[in-house]
Amino acid sequence: MEGKRLLIVSFDAVGSEELAYLGDDAYFRRIASGGTIFDKTRSITVSNTYPVHASISTGRMPGMHGLISNTAMEPESGYGWRWDSRDIKSRTIFQAAKDKGLETAAIMWPVTGYAGRTIKYNFPEILAAKDQSTLAEYMRAGSRWFDITSYIKFGKLLCKDDPSQQPQKDDFAVAVLEDLLGHHMPDLMMLHLTAYDAACHIYGKHSPESIQALKHLDENLGRIMKCIGDDTSIIVFSDHCQLNYSKFCDPDKATELKFSNQGHRMFYFYCCGGTCFCFPRAITEKRLCELKGFCLGLKGVQRLVTEQEMEDSGFAQAGAAFGIGACEDYVFDQKIREKAEHGYTLDRDHYGTFIMTSWKEESQCTDVLDVTRLAAQVLGVQYKGGIV
């Protein structure tokens, strides 16, 4: 297996249970027929897109690589998306592949902005702030000439008002990779597809719209399969699942008066969908202990985040005093007005992810970090508890 080219495709938010909606004629099933599927695998804590993909890039938990959240965490920051690869503190598979003399490509792969020459063909996923131009950031943060050429050729596929609109964004990403493969065949190709994640948020898990988005993912996978040969191994995986919800728990509002916390003077909460973390500012240890007990009693709170989860997620290292996990059918943060969410703790049913290889894999795969281990195996780069 070592020495072959490798294509890694991320099916964002597609849980292992969703695979039942792909029929026998699906391109996914064609790969699986000659390979191996590991279902009910585990995501990481916190089970959100950017921390998971940074973990795939490094083979390490967020507590080690440092990219612990989708967005900036302080209330004053505006919660901008963290797509800058310079925030990752661990060695990546892109760096290891380049050092080995291999060519790499990343198309809409999270947290690859400003990766420089580490990624030869890099069209990073950018979710720009309100005062930024997404298109301008594409050109600044990626492989400039590759991105300019790709946009000239296929920019018409993107929604002008919102370049992140789906399924247009996925169609654009696949067209860019198709075009690249018509001229060059990198040794490592990493593609991130998010149409199902977007549909699931808006319409809910297992909705007709989400099932249609899942099938669209498969069609895009088929387009890429037609561009590669037998000398390319394939890994398809999901980063996290989603769960439907209909109720909110807002710890900021619930604690504001009781703990005299107007304006986040004493503490603030950072919400990650199905989990939430408290960062102290000017609160005493005694009051902090009372705050923790009070939050645990809020309707919609299932349990405290464990010490191990705090360490693995990186929130302990970032200064969070404690975390809370939501009950099923609940989500944190009143700003969310959708139907499904992720970021939940992993100890629950119907929240499994999957890994599929195009070859018969004899080792066991139990969590998303196994994607990195398998990738290192194919590429022949060193992996010892992470990319080294």
How confident is the model over 72-118, as pLDDT tens digits? 999 888 889 999 999 999 999 999 999 999 999 999 999 999 999 99
The predicted pLDDT at position 48 comes to 98
pTM of the model as a whole: 0.96
Full DSSP string of 83-140: -BGGG--S--HHHHHHHTT--EEEES-TT-BT-GGGSSEEE------TTS-HHHHHHH
Q: Classify each residue of 322-339 as buried b or exposed e, where b means 16 or more C-beta atoms within 10 Å of its C-beta.
A: bbbbbbbebbbbeeeebb
Report how far apart, in Å, the C-alpha atoms of 280 and of each of 66, 80, 110, 312, 326 are.
20, 21, 29, 20, 20
CATH annotation of 5-242+345-379: 3.40.720.10
The predicted pLDDT at position 138 comes to 87
**Are both 5-242+345-379 and 244-341 of the same fold?**
no
Tell me: pLDDT of 5 over 80: yes
**Pairing of the two strands 232-237 and 5-11:** parallel
Report how far apart, in Å, the C-alpha atoms of 257 and of each of 79, 226, 266, 315 are.
24, 60, 12, 26
Is the preceding omega at residue 167 within 30 degrees of 0, hence cis?
yes
Write the CB contacts of 370 (distance below 8 Å, at least 6 apart in sequence): 38, 41, 355, 363
Query: How many C-alpha atoms does 296 have within 13 Å on its Cβ side?
Result: 11
| Chain mean pLDDT for the chain | 95
Instruction: Classify 281 as helix, strand or coil.
Output: coil
CB 90 within 8 A of CB 387: yes
87 vs 262, higher pLDDT: 87
Query: Cα separation of 138 and 147, whole Å?
Result: 7
Q: pLDDT tens-digit profile of 186-243?
A: 999 999 999 999 999 999 999 999 999 999 999 999 999 999 999 999 999 999 999 9
Given its phi and psi angles, is residue 343 left (phi above 0), alpha (psi -120 to 50 degrees) or beta?
A: left
Query: Cα separation of 367 and 212, whole Å?
Result: 27
Full DSSP string of 133-195: -HHHHHHHHS-HHHHHHHHHHHGGGS-SS-TT-TTHHHHHHHHHHHHHHTT---SEEEEEE-H
Q: pLDDT tens-digit profile of 29-47?
A: 999 999 999 999 999 999 9
Average pLDDT over residues 353-375: 97
Range 244-341: architecture per CATH = 2-Layer Sandwich (3.30)
Query: Cα separation of 133 and 183, whole Å?
Result: 29
The predicted pLDDT at position 335 comes to 65
pLDDT band, residue 323 (cuts 50/70/90): very high
Helices of type H across 257-333: 285-296, 307-313
pLDDT band, residue 3 (cuts 50/70/90): low
Query: Cα separation of 161 and 383, whole Å?
Result: 42
Given its phi and psi angles, is residue 114 left (phi above 0), alpha (psi -120 to 50 degrees) or beta?
A: left
Tell me: pLDDT of 269 over 90: yes
Query: Cα separation of 104 and 48, whole Å?
Result: 24
Full DSSP string of 317-348: TTT--EEEEEPTEEEE-TT--SSEE----SSS
Q: pLDDT tens-digit profile of 12-35?
A: 999 999 999 998 889 999 999 999
Q: Classify each residue of 278-311 as buried b or exposed e, where b means 16 or more C-beta atoms within 10 Å of its C-beta.
A: bbbeebeeebbeebeebbeebebbbebbeeebbb
The predicted pLDDT at position 127 comes to 87
Tell me: pLDDT of 1 over 70: no
Query: Cα separation of 178 and 164, whole Å?
Result: 19
**Pairing of the two strands 243-249 and 353-357:** unpaired
Domain map of the chain by residue range? Answer: 5-242+345-379, 244-341
Q: pLDDT tens-digit profile of 125-168?
A: 998 887 788 888 888 999 999 999 999 999 999 998 888 999 99
DSSP structural state of residue 278: E
The dihedral sign for the CA sequence 388, 144, 123, 4: negative
